[in-house]
Homo-oligomer: A and B are copies of this chain.
Amino acid sequence: MSENNSEKFQPAFCPIRHVLDRFGDKWSILVVELLSHKGRMRFSEIANNIGDISQKMLTVTLRSLEADGLISREFFPEIPPRVEYELTALGKSLIPPINNLLHWGQEHLETILNNRKRYEEKDQEKAKGKKAYS
């Protein structure tokens, strides 16, 4: 009985965990979103558009997205070399759900920031109250 209560959130069973592990990093979703707007892009283009990503993290992110089949990588053996990235069909299928989430974020961002601010103020009051006692 007690076994049946803990059904589907235990790490082993649930695919949700895989998804969250996949997009839990700061950059993956951002890169996908970026590529969805600009289409085909070069390495340095992506780096410049994001601004504050190190080239190491960009490389790692692109590799893992490529490994999952979300983006394609085309290498041009020119001098200087050129590499272009693009969303695959699978990658494109990810755009709608991502946009939903981002849209929700834009819609509620102000509310959330206000909530956060109020919460911090309440926290400081409590801290004051404690200090007044001692």
Contact = CB atoms under 8 A, between A and B. Distances in A.
Interface stretch (A23-31, A76-84, A125-133): A23-31
A90 interface: yes
A10 to B, nearest CB: 5
Contacts of A106: 15-16, 19
A11 B51 contact: yes
A48 interface: yes
A120 B67 contact: yes
A42 interface: no
A100 interface: yes
A16 B115 contact: no
Interface in A40-99: 48-52, 66-70, 90, 93-94, 96-98
A105 B21 contact: no
A105 B9 contact: no
A115 B69 contact: yes
Nearest to A17: B30
6 contacts: A6-B49, A16-B106, A24-B26, A67-B116, A69-B115, A96-B100
Interface of A: 5-6, 9-11, 15-26, 29-30, 33-34, 48-52, 66-70, 90, 93-94, 96-98, 100-106, 108-109, 111-113, 115-116, 119-120
